[in-house]
Chain A
């Protein structure tokens, strides 16, 4: 009886291990197409317009590349509003198979409204010096384009890093980075503390390394 139980236990462990392995394998092979958005202690003023920009940008990215061979999977790209305490962010990012997790808020600064996002990329940070960067823009027509282009560049960068993680062709990774690169050329860091510069540097570094690798083959 004890022997039987032991065998069943071993079999059970093997099945669980198998399930875990399969789940890990699926997670590894599955493209990350969710951008998780956490609204962090914020007023509505500016936030809805910010959300509209994000949705428009994601829609344009899907349409721009989703029709091309090898890029079909990004038609599933979408923004999901979610919740969670800062200590849970990484778990949320992993559980929801997110490309990026944005913790976004708006805040009054004098007569202006500041839009701030902590953008977490975790394992998809690539050449970024850390797993998250802080992005800041004014809720103002003067910063509309900057907001639009910064989040688009971030999304393309994350898609590139995910394509790299999945071992997709170099041309796919390069194509995403190329789009991010073109956008980044139109974004000027506001000052030396502006962390968008970290994103721009990471895009350039990844492209250079792809080129070096591509030309050495």
Chain B
């Protein structure tokens, strides 16, 4: 009897150990960390807190309404209360990989002439982060003349630099002291405030530019997110959009990338990549990404990333053409014609790639086998 009790206990312990060791839904957990901003102490800290909460506002577990009962899983927006080892992409990548998140937003606050600017950067390391699926990687699998191919395209770039945020003089004046972000009991923000946000807090929900938070200092209360600049900055939309891409929230990613494209201040590099992410989103939804690819090419006619996404779209269609062909045993004329189109595009843009580019070699091989 005693033996049975010990065995039962051991089984319980084993089950508990298994539960503890099992990854917390590694398939869907995606996160970003906002590093401590360099420069002017209290102002830098408050800008970091505001950007952190603004990106957090873009997170969603599912669309609304949700007739398809979609679930994009968990996502996390962390913030670091310590300095980066250096103001560099490599230090930012290390921060993200150390805590198994996918990206780091970092930057600095710099007095410049008549005001203050915030320079922000995004670093997206590529490493084994434990996720089973990586929706952000465009993969086309196809079978050409008896040979299986799996062709991948990585995201267009892994380091981004945003347009500077020019802080309004009101933000500089109000947010240059440590206790500047005040918390209120209710969302109508009637004074007096119940305390300050402080360094440790968790956002619960938001309504417009008001966020309900639990702060270690003050407990639960509402804060108001200020407009940092007179012009809307693309940082929040792009970072939020990218998190949605990583979670396979294609409708949501498309919408936030649209805001980046419409933003007159957004750098061309970001607009081009926003079009490319929209193209990926459309492809994943079974729609044609031709318009987005054309616009990306118009903005950036010499970009190898645009060429890669364009050819991935052709390969996607070729894989479908080949499925039709394989059913009938022969390669259809449609598939052959698509393969010739790919060859033409490769020839036209060959000069944008290194001589022994592995991706290009695979594409050429596939096209040659099909044609």
Contacts and interface: CB of A to CB of B under 8 A. Distances in A.
B241 to A, nearest CB: 19
Interface in B208-230: none
Interface string B273-309: 0000000000000000000000000011011100000
- Grouping DSSP codes into helix (H, G, I), strand (E, B) and loop, the B interface class, with mixed when no group exceeds half, is mixed
B268 A185 contact: yes
A42 interface: no
B110 A182 contact: no
Contacts of A46: 113
Nearest to B159: A64
Contacts of A143: 113
Contacts of A177: 302
A64 B159 CA distance: 6
Interface stretch (B58-66, B116-124, B174-182): B116-124
A178 B300 contact: yes
Interface residue tally on A, bucketed by range: 35 or more
Contacts of B352: 171, 174-175, 214
Given A140-B113, A181-B302, A182-B268, A171 B164 contact: no
A170 B349 CA distance: 11
B269 A59 contact: no
Contacts of B353: 171
A145 B302 CA distance: 23
Contact of B113 (A52, A141, A145): A141
B119 A56 contact: yes
B161 A60 contact: yes
Interface string A107-121: 000000100000000
A37 interface: no
Nearest to A139: B113
Interface of B: 87-90, 110-117, 119, 121, 157, 159, 161, 163-164, 166, 267-269, 272, 299-300, 302-304, 347-355
13 contacts: A49-B111, A56-B119, A60-B121, A60-B159, A139-B113, A140-B113, A174-B302, A182-B303, A183-B269, A186-B267, A186-B268, A213-B351, A215-B347
